[in-house]
Structure 1
Amino acid sequence: MTAATHADHVQERPDTPGAPAQSAGGREPLVRRVRRGRPEDPRWARPAFLAMLLVIALAYLWNLSASGYANSFYSAAVQAGSQSWKAFFFGSLDSANAITVDKPPATLWPMALSVRIFGLSSWAILAPQVLMGVATAGVLYAAVRRRFSAAAGLITMAVFALTPVAALMFRFNNPDALLALLMTATVYCVLRAFEGGRTKWLVWAGVAVGLAFLSKTLQAFLILPPLAVLYAVFAPVSVRKRFGQLGLAALATVVSAGWWVAIVELWPASSRPYIGGSQNNSFLELTFGYNGLGRINGEETGSVGGGGGGGQGGGWGETGIGRMFNSEIGGQISWLLPAALILLVAGVWLTRRAKRTDTARAAFLAWGGSLLMTAFVFSFMAGIFHQYYTVALAPSIAALVGMGASVLWEERGRWWAGAVLGVTVAATAVWSYVLLGRTPDYVPWLRWAVLAGGLAAAVGLLLAARLGRALALGAVGLGLAASLAGPTAYTISTLNTGHQGSIVTAGPSAGGMGGPGGGMGGGRPPGQGTQQDAGQGMPQG
């Protein structure tokens, strides 16, 4: 089948029950029909999915208490929220409600409820974060599986869970874990809405964004422009209805986030805690100042130093297009970032002649747009920027790798599909070799094994059209192993290491590092010392 006929191969799912649609050539379509229960799934799909969830949960729970109270700034607020419902609501640092943390409190609520139920301990604080990681993996599988194969969903889960910064932040009590879960849920809901122009799913997407705002304010909105444009242009309903649905989704966002903001702003300042991080005791000023434009232009009031605008080094690292790959960020998130970008281009190219409403193309554009927008802002923001922020990229990278690998495997009969797979694996192996070379004393033989295995797998994938299925599968397996070996090693190191303080990193060089504001060690009761730090307006996340 030629590239010109690929649009026929990528078909819309029928809305009525029946067998999956077939392409003109009689092959199973790239995008399978959605049916409850998935009777067309292989028998191993559901057990494999459940087993993967269990493995992720056990891995992330491993050695969890080594981090103690992790970031004791937020642990103090969790402790306060477990003792006072008023502190719970406002996100206060102490049960006397003198001052709040410098973020909205949604990310604190699950942890505070856990401490109320199980008592104050490292596990009670951090286990909810682990559950958020497991939930994110499950949502990713559901999103990818609805349009591609079960294998694509499982690859997505594996790539996500083995991203070092994900293994770090879904075992830590900063706001980023809940934010990443809710942003993933937002993309899932938009894609569900896209399937048939369903208003309720777009409204649910708006609710997810609103709750994400209550986790980490304006960062939640980074993915909205590409998702809104995607729905406005490609959704399978009339233009008028598309914009009406987007308006309802925006209203849902305002309501789900605005109720808390309205209460805080209308509450008499004399009887509520001071809004930590703000200059005039206003949450709105905090949102658009210190936590908003200040993060972009580097002029946060109270910051201990700006970033490196214009590509110059600064207190928060060098900015520019290569920031996600540099020595500070690369080992956290970028292992499969080149692969995700290559597979994004391949997926969009494969679906270029499909219908305007094609759901496979929508999936590539949704995850790809979310990745590019967030990575662009991270790369050029001159204000406070920590390495662990990049966990927001992990779901999109994982989805693009899972979907792209699945699409190209189904097209392996065409030489260029094997060639793209081969180039992707080779590029990943070479980049892993470079990243592993930045920690030369950590498993020194691994970088050479990854490079040799990746290049060998790339050659096999180049010849996939001529090889038998067994040999082609062997090349795929070797390619996956080589691609995931580096991040797996860094993830294992992360799981075996306790992380404490306000600035933490994944990988063999990771460890508790007191950042601006002084992160306290995990063995210290969270209520001690943190309020003084917060009162000085120091950044925590």
Structure 2
Amino acid sequence: MSAGVLPRQEHSAAGAWGGAAVVAARVRAWPRSGRLAPALVVLLAAILRLVDLGRTPIDPFYAGAVRSMGTSWHAFFVGAYDPSARLAIDKAPVDLWLQVASTNVLGFTPTAMLLPAALGGTVAVAALYDLLHTLAGRRVAIAGALALAVLPMAVLTSRSDTMDSVMAALVVAGFAVGARGMRAGRSSRLVAAGALMGVAFETKLFEALIPAVPLAVMWWWGAPGTRAQRARAIVASSLACAAVGLAWLVALSLLVPATQRPWAFGSTDGSAWSSTFVYDGWQRLTGSTPINAGSATDRVPAGAGPLRLFSAHVHLDARVGFGLGVAWISLVVALAAGAWRSLDRTGRAGAGALALWLGLGTVIFSAQRDLRPRYLEAVDPAIAAVAGLGLVLGASAVAARLHGRVPRGVLRGIAVAAVIMLVTVPAVVTAGVISSHAQDSGTPGALPTARLAALSSYLRSRQGGARYEAAFLPVAEAGGLIARDGRPVLMLDALGHPLVTPAALQRLIAGGQVHTAVVGTARTPMADWIRAHGSDVSAAAGQRVTGTVYALAP
């Protein structure tokens, strides 16, 4: 693994693609295997997300945080990035809690780190089937779930060390619960859906709110009752979403004394509120997010514009553009053919809400300046759902119009060809994603395996009775070492905000609390102070570039 964060696990990918042909055959015979077909689709989704998972590179930032959060309940709750809980990650640690649990059970391995995301992506497929089955029946549900199961961007994100797939599973589950409540006329289920949206916000913040407006619109259009009753249900759901979504921030502010709260990464004042609403909120939308060393490697280089999601940059055209195009074209064809008439009020409301979700996601991610591919998981379920709706309902409507004028065999062949196209083209791209061990979390600042091992060996030999294994300026390089050794480090800086002053560092050195500092290529007042007062030991620490590691003495 080039990042050198965690050891590799070897798996065999043989036979992973045989399942696609079986699923396609089962879908064609869905009336005779109504329960088997969705199970096979979910099984295919699980295979694509789990096969050879352990060979995927891990983001050292999250790997270090998961290792640190497993060292104490305090570090676990506050989302500590380092075992000393001096620095915290930039968002609520809900998803990382799942990774901590997974690594505690299975060991600190790549597979254990990635397992929650892979399972989240699989659950999202099952939840989308349930949602579409409630709205439009089994055929549409099978088509939409199958489209999401093989959608390359969804598979890529589910095989990456990020929170987006778990967020997507929660969002689709919320939509499914809301749709069931709408059909049953039970507003309490919309409130439950709002709570799930709140958990999704806790998981990946503002991405999760893109489907919130379509969910409310679906209820307004399709739920029984008076306007006042529907409005009250939407307000109650919104309050549930807000209460759950802000629960961790409020609990952190009320339960953890200010002196024991770590500095939130990306914030301007150290607070998790600033990190959430400014760094991960407004700045992500406007593209003014501060760039850490190497953190731009996972960004989309294509400029904002209506064709961005169809560009060849980072394979957007193949991984998401094809599916997005199919969704929009099939939607237009279905509307032109009058396919919406085959749905009842609930189904039309749900279909309209999914189309709105698709539209919002397309506009936002085409215009957002600071875009990472993983953000598209907030619209991937809508792409698959609308593609399934449009293809199945549109084909049925067109067939009804052409009945008696075109042989039934020809129409059936066209329908089968459309399904094969929907599945085969993305499946081929997905095969490439898996075989290349691609991921979209990035590995900013990660040290190669040999250099990380040499640095670890050197620092452990020098630590002695010191409290800290080393003092660190580069955040990502610290994450790799934390993930490897699990020892406390002294974080000196967070995106240009000093966490320790030179005077405080000097006192720690004098007290024997830290013997070595890793400054990397940083050019800050603290880096200049360390270079002026320390001895360059970069070569002894196994680093190729001098001026990056320094021995510190009183």
1:332: Cα distance to partner? 2.4
Matching residue of 1:395: 381
Matching residue of 1:179: 167
1:107 is paired with a residue whose SS is helix
1:115: Cα distance to partner? 1.1
CA contact (8 A) 2:79 2:89 kept: yes
Alignment RMSD: 3.3
> Using a 3 Å threshold, how does the CA distance of structure 1 residues 53 and 355 change in structure 2: closer, same or farther?
closer
CA contact (8 A) 2:154 2:377 kept: yes
Matching residue of 1:409: 395
2-structure distance, mates of 1:54, 1:305: 37
2-structure distance, mates of 1:390, 1:411: 31
Residues 311-338 of structure 1: per-residue CA shift (max 9 Å, x gap):
xxx9853011221112223222111212
Matching residue of 2:33: 44
More moved, 76-85 vs 524-533: 524-533
Are 2:54 and 1:65 equivalent residues in the alignment?
Answer: yes
Are 2:329 and 1:342 equivalent residues in the alignment?
Answer: yes
Matching residue of 2:104: 116
1-structure distance, mates of 2:200, 2:440: 23
Matching residue of 2:266: 277
Q: Please, what TM-score do these two structures have when normalized by structure 1?
A: 0.72
1:291: Cα distance to partner? 0.9
Matching residue of 1:441: none
2:387 is paired with a residue whose SS is helix
1:493 is paired with a residue whose SS is helix
Matching residue of 1:478: 417
Matching residue of 2:63: 75
CA contact (8 A) 1:306 1:315 kept: no
2-structure distance, mates of 1:385, 1:516: 22
1:371 pairs, out of 358, 366, 386, with 358
Matching residue of 2:223: 235
Are 2:81 and 1:93 equivalent residues in the alignment?
Answer: yes
1-structure distance, mates of 2:146, 2:154: 11
1:132 pairs, out of 101, 115, 120, with 120
2-structure distance, mates of 1:359, 1:106: 33
More moved, 495-504 vs 75-84: 495-504
1:332 is paired with a residue whose SS is helix
Q: Unpaired runs of 5+ in structure 2?
A: 1-29, 444-473, 498-554
1-structure distance, mates of 2:294, 2:109: 34
1:321 is paired with a residue whose SS is coil
> Using a 3 Å threshold, how does the CA distance of structure 1 residues 120 and 534 change in structure 2: closer, same or farther?
farther
1:226: Cα distance to partner? 3.0
Identity %: 26
**How many residues of Structure 1 are paired with residues of Structure 2 in the alignment?**
433
2:240 pairs, out of 248, 252, 258, with 252
2:155 pairs, out of 167, 171, 190, with 167
CA contact (8 A) 1:77 1:92 kept: yes
Are 2:100 and 1:141 equivalent residues in the alignment?
Answer: no
2-structure distance, mates of 1:169, 1:213: 17
2-structure distance, mates of 1:467, 1:531: 74
Q: Unpaired runs of 5+ in structure 1?
A: 1-40, 308-313, 416-462, 505-514
CA contact (8 A) 1:205 1:249 kept: yes
> Using a 3 Å threshold, how does the CA distance of structure 1 residues 316 and 110 change in structure 2: closer, same or farther?
same
CA contact (8 A) 1:332 1:390 kept: no
The amino acid of 2:381's aligned partner reads: P
Matching residue of 1:508: none
1:207: Cα distance to partner? 0.7
Matching residue of 2:442: 503
1:66: Cα distance to partner? 0.7
Matching residue of 1:525: 484
2-structure distance, mates of 1:502, 1:401: 27
Equivalences for 1:179-198 in 2 at 5 Å?
179-198=167-186
Are 2:315 and 1:327 equivalent residues in the alignment?
Answer: no
> Using a 3 Å threshold, how does the CA distance of structure 1 residues 519 and 86 change in structure 2: closer, same or farther?
closer
Matching residue of 1:459: none
CA contact (8 A) 2:98 2:116 kept: yes
Are 2:495 and 1:536 equivalent residues in the alignment?
Answer: yes
CA contact (8 A) 1:500 1:519 kept: no
CA contact (8 A) 2:149 2:155 kept: yes
Residues 147-201 of structure 1: per-residue CA shift (max 9 Å, x gap):
3342322221221121111111111121111111122122222322322432111
Residues 370-426 of structure 1: per-residue CA shift (max 9 Å, x gap):
1111221111122x21122212221111111112222123324444xxxxxxxxxxx
1:212: Cα distance to partner? 1.0
Matching residue of 1:362: 349
1:369: Cα distance to partner? 1.0
1:489: Cα distance to partner? 1.3
1:474: Cα distance to partner? 2.5
More moved, 208-217 vs 344-353: 344-353
CA contact (8 A) 2:160 2:440 kept: no
1:121: Cα distance to partner? 1.1
CA contact (8 A) 1:319 1:379 kept: yes
> Using a 3 Å threshold, how does the CA distance of structure 1 residues 193 and 351 change in structure 2: closer, same or farther?
farther
2-structure distance, mates of 1:530, 1:389: 31
1:536: Cα distance to partner? 3.0
Residues 230-285 of structure 1: per-residue CA shift (max 9 Å, x gap):
43344321011111111110111122122211012233221122211111111221
Q: Please, what TM-score do these two structures have when normalized by structure 2?
A: 0.71
> Using a 3 Å threshold, how does the CA distance of structure 1 residues 481 and 380 change in structure 2: closer, same or farther?
same
The amino acid of 2:302's aligned partner reads: G
1:301: Cα distance to partner? 4.6
CA contact (8 A) 2:129 2:142 kept: yes
The amino acid of 2:117's aligned partner reads: Q
1:302: Cα distance to partner? 5.4
> Using a 3 Å threshold, how does the CA distance of structure 1 residues 520 and 99 change in structure 2: closer, same or farther?
closer
Matching residue of 2:520: none
2:206 is paired with a residue whose SS is helix
CA contact (8 A) 1:344 1:400 kept: yes
1:51: Cα distance to partner? 1.9
CA contact (8 A) 1:189 1:205 kept: yes
> Using a 3 Å threshold, how does the CA distance of structure 1 residues 353 and 209 change in structure 2: closer, same or farther?
closer
> Using a 3 Å threshold, how does the CA distance of structure 1 residues 110 and 305 change in structure 2: closer, same or farther?
closer
> Using a 3 Å threshold, how does the CA distance of structure 1 residues 530 and 352 change in structure 2: closer, same or farther?
farther
More moved, 224-233 vs 140-149: 224-233
2-structure distance, mates of 1:257, 1:192: 22
Q: In terms of Rg, which structure is larger?
A: 2
Matching residue of 1:107: 95
The amino acid of 1:482's aligned partner reads: M
1:472: Cα distance to partner? 2.7
CA contact (8 A) 1:298 1:306 kept: no
2:379 is paired with a residue whose SS is helix
CA contact (8 A) 1:65 1:123 kept: yes
Matching residue of 1:493: 432
1-structure distance, mates of 2:230, 2:343: 14
1:351: Cα distance to partner? 6.4
The amino acid of 1:273's aligned partner reads: P
2-structure distance, mates of 1:397, 1:530: 44
Matching residue of 1:429: none
